[in-house]
Amino acid sequence: MKTTYLGLIFLLLLFIACQPAAPKEEPATQESSAVDSLIYPGEKHFKSLRQLTFAGDNAEAYWSFDDSRLVFQATNEKWGAHCDQIFMMDWAKEQHPDSMPELISTGDGRTTCSYFMPGDTTILYASTHEHDASCPHSPAPREDGKYVWPIYDSFDIYVADLKGNIVSQLTNEPGYDAEATVSPKGDKIVFTSIRSGDLELYTMDIDGSNVKQITFELGYDGGAFFSNSGDKLIFRSSRPKTDAEIAEYKQLLTEGLVKPTNMELYICNADGSDLRQLTDLGNANWSPFFHPSDEKVIFSSNHASERGFEFNLYIINIDGTGLERVTYDPIFDAFPVFSYSGKYLVFSSNRHNGGTRDTNLFLAEWQD
C-alpha cells in the first residue's frame, strides 16, 4: 500500500505553515559528485546514490531474483497511470527523465505490491481491475479529521508474464487480498487478507495452494517480508488495545477503512510461531525489510519527528537493540529493499524533487 502513505504526508503538510527547504545541490564537477550530491549529510551507509525515476509517485520497488530488474508501482499522468499501475525497469541502464518503463499491469483499476516470482519470468501483484476498469474512489475527508486508508474489497492477487498477460489468479475470496511478497527460497508467498473478518497475514505455496492463516490478533497486520533464509517474517501492525481503540478499529473496518497513524513492527517465524513485537517507538513504523545478514531490519519511521511528517529510514537489530538512523530527509524516505546480493538498496524519497510532491525511486550502493 503506497499511495495512502504518501497521502498522509501531503495531508499533514496542509497543516504546517512552513518546512525546511531541501539542501541545495552544489554544482557537480564530475559524474561521481553528481551522484553523491543526492546524499544528505550523515547518510554514511550510502556509498553512492542514483535517481531512477523523475516524476509522479513511484514506490514499492522490488528486485528480480537475479538483481537485474526492478518492478514497482507508479501513478503518473504522463504514462497514462491515473492511479497506481505496475511497471518494470532495467535499473542498470541510464533512465531518461521522459522515458516510460514497461507496463506490466493491465492499465485498469488500481494495483499494488508487485513482486518477481521464481525464475524472473512472471510477476505477482494485486489489482482491482476485474471489479472495475476505473480507479477506485479515494475516501473523502472525514468530519472527525482522522486520516484513514481504504481497504478495497476488490483487490485480488494475480500472476502476469513480463508482457503483462495475466497467467493465473491466486486469490478469489470476498474482500481484500493484497500485499503479497515472495520468499527468497521461492517456495512461499505471504499476503494480507480480510477473509477471517480481520486483516491478518496468510501464507500460501507458490502456486496459490495450501493457504494458511498465521496471525490471529485483532488489528491490521500487513506489509510482510520473508528473511533472506526464508524462515522468518517481519511486518507492521496497527493493533488496537483500549476499548475505544478497538471500537474505532472495528467501525472503520465496516466502512472498508483503517487508521494507519500508529504502527509498530513485529517479527515471527514463517509459520507465525514465536511472534513478538520488535519496536515500541510510537507513531508510524512500517515498510520493514531484512538486512542481508538477517540480523537487522531496515524500516521507515516518523517516531522522531516533532511535526509528524518527516519519515526517515532506520535500522535495528532483530532483538530490538541498536536502533540507528540511516537517512536524513526533511520530508519522506520509505520502502527500503535490499538487492538479493546485498550490494544495493532501492527506496522511495521526496528528495531532489524541485519542491514538487513527486516521490521517486533512488538506488544506493550500500556500505555497512
Alpha-carbon distance of 228 to 184, in angstroms, equals 6
Percent pLDDT > 90 in the chain is 84
Q: Give me 187's grid cell.
A: 517456495
pTM score, two decimals?
0.91
Find out whether 362 and 351 touch, Cβ atoms under 8 Å: yes
**Distance (Å) of CA 118 to CA 18, 121, 184, 343:** 47, 8, 8, 20
Mean pLDDT, to the nearest integer, of 22-36? Answer: 38
Mean pLDDT, to the nearest integer, of 296-318? Answer: 93
DSSP-derived 3-state class of residue 67? coil
* pLDDT at res. 1: 62
Nearest alpha-carbon partner for 116 in 70, 85, 155, 156? 70
* pLDDT at res. 140: 85
Nearest alpha-carbon partner for 184 in 42, 78, 290, 316? 290
Q: Look-up: residue for cell 508482457?
A: 163
Find out whether 72 and 359 touch, Cβ atoms under 8 Å: no
Note the CATH number of domain 3-16+29-366: 2.120.10.30
pLDDT digits (tens, 9 = 90+) for 216-266: 999 999 999 999 999 999 999 999 999 999 999 999 999 999 999 899 999
